[in-house]
């Protein structure tokens, strides 16, 4: 199937979209702005909600937010369109200066290579769509490229989309209809739309080459430790590698269940990982003494809990 045919059914909106903002179909207009993979609890107060808020892809907030939303109050609801199905290929773009950061890169590539079809990611299979297809947990690592500051050190949302578009145009990355693309930025790079202030990572679906394209952006936690790092050194002995692993896993689950920001979310616009932001469940000590909660392949990780729905509403969990 050509990429231009993907996600056309039930969308019925203009082909022009903004990065990290999807077309709206049969859902209400948001009352207030929501946040993505927000920094740890410093963000503005949320207004009272009288109707559903649409997700923005930036709902996973910063850790030190003194007024976090009531994340577990509302049940997850299906709204429209499709979840991601079939085997998904994950491609990385290392943006900025990654010299001397091979340890960080190995932590992330190993995670992408081992997270598929695990009890952890299988939680997304609890989220079906109107075609009775369930979100896939089958993901494989497809490779990576490096981008040495093609758009400078301060990135707009449009810049992040164009970073990926340039990889397509140069044939450095394949235009894969089953692809999920991830931009990891080095610590000297910042996304101007709120990185480290209102979110730590985000996802969206810009239209590239005529089709909606799943795109994740993950900023370096070391740039804003109080907001975006769960711990100074993770179970693999890194700050950014382990910290980005946490953020990447969260946004991956969000993409699989809510690829166009119109599928699965609650009344506050929170997605499957957003509802459990900065909660870890049962942890154990990794060999280096850092906290971990999931072992995948030969590595320990500290990953976010994901929302496990139930008839009674649901709860945060680490496996299904």
Confidence of residue 34 (pLDDT cuts 50, 70, 90): very low
Mean pLDDT of the chain: 86
Report how many domains make up the chain.
1
* CA-based torsion, 151, 154, 158, 160: positive or negative: positive
Q: What percent of the chain has pLDDT over 90?
A: 78
Quote the radius of gyration of the chain (alpha carbons, Å).
Answer: 18
292/303 Cα distance (integer angstroms): 8
> Does position 45 have pLDDT exceeding 50, yes or no?
no
Enter the pTM of the model.
Answer: 0.86
5-18 average pLDDT score: 30
135/13 Cα distance (integer angstroms): 23
> What's the pLDDT score for residue 51?
57
* Residue span of the structural domain in which 74 resides: 3-317
Q: Which of 63, 19, 24 is nearest to 41 (CA)?
A: 63
Q: What percent of the chain has pLDDT over 70?
A: 84
Number of H helices, E strands in the chain: 4, 17
Longest pairwise C-alpha distance within the chain: 52
157-171 average pLDDT score: 98
> Does position 24 have pLDDT exceeding 50, yes or no?
no
312/320 Cα distance (integer angstroms): 17
Q: How far apart are the first and last CA of the chain?
A: 31
Phi, psi dihedrals of residue 35, rounded to the nearest 5°: -115, 155
């Amino acid at each position: 199937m050509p990429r231009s045919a993907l996600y056309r059914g039930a969308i019925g909106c203009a082909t022009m979209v903004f990065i990290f903002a999807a077309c709206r179909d049969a859902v209400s207009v948001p009352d207030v702005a929501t946040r993505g993979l927000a920094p740890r609890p410093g963000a503005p107060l949320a207004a009272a909600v009288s109707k559903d808020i649409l997700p923005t892809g930036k709902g996973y907030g910063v850790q030190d937010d003194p007024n976090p939303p009531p994340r577990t109050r509302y049940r997850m609801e299906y709204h429209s369109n499709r979840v991601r199905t079939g085997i998904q290929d994950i491609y990385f773009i290392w943006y900025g200066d990654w010299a001397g950061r091979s340890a960080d890169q190995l932590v992330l590539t190993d995670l992408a290579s081992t997270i598929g079809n695990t009890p952890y990611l299988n939680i997304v299979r609890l989220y079906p769509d109107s075609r009775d297809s369930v979100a896939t947990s089958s993901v494989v690592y497809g490779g990576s490229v490096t981008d040495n500051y093609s758009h400078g050190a301060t990135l707009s949302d449009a810049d992040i989309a164009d970073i990926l578009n340039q990889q397509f145009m140069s044939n450095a990355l394949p235009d894969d209809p089953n692809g999920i693309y991830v931009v990891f930025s080095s610590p000297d790079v910042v996304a101007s739309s709120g990185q480290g202030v209102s979110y730590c990572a985000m996802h969206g679906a810009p239209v590239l080459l005529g089709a909606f394209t799943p795109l994740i952006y993950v900023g370096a936690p070391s740039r804003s430790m109080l907001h975006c790092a769960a711990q100074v050194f993770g179970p693999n002995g890194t700050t950014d590698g382990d910290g980005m692993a946490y953020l990447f896993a969260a946004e991956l689950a969000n993409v699989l269940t809510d690829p166009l920001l119109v599928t699965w979310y609650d009344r506050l616009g929170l997605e499957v990982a957003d509802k459990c932001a900065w909660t870890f469940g049962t942890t154990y000590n990794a060999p280096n003494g850092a906290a971990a909660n999931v072992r995948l392949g030969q590595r320990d990780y500290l990953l976010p809990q994901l929302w496990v729905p139930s008839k009674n509403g649901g709860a945060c969990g680490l496996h299904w």
